Amino acid sequence: MNEYKVDDFGEARLLVSRKGCNRHVTCFGTIKAVEKKVVLFTDNDGFSYLVDKKDFNFTKEIFKDFNISK
């Protein structure tokens, strides 16, 4: 099982249900809160998703500092 951490940035794949319609969403954003069974994720457009951990797949982005000097 993945251990999610608050303020991790990356790509999330999650299942969204609305009005009886289920769809998969893939987006980039930040984890805002982690509880026992749910994760609060906010994408780069400002939309927040409260998702069951079982329906949430997250890949953390690792940024490397490239020192480019001329």
- Phi, psi angles (nearest 5°) of residue 67: -90, 100
Confirm whether 1 is domain-assigned.
no
How far from 60 is each of 6, 21, 26, 64, CA to CA, in Å?
11, 28, 13, 13
**Average pLDDT of the chain to the nearest whole number:** 87
Encoded tokens for 27: 């987006």
Confidence of residue 22 (pLDDT cuts 50, 70, 90): confident
Check residue 69 and report its DSSP letter. -
* In contact, 25 and 14? CB cutoff 8 Å: yes
- Structural domain for 55, as ranges: 9-60
Distance between CA 29 and CA 64 in Å, rounded?
18
pLDDT tens for each residue of 36-45 = 999 999 999 9
Asked if residue 36 is part of any domain, the answer here is yes
33 secondary structure, DSSP code: E
Q: Is residue 3 part of a domain?
A: no
Please check whether residue 14 lies inside any domain of the structure: yes
pTM metric for this prediction: 0.79
What's the domain count of the chain? 1
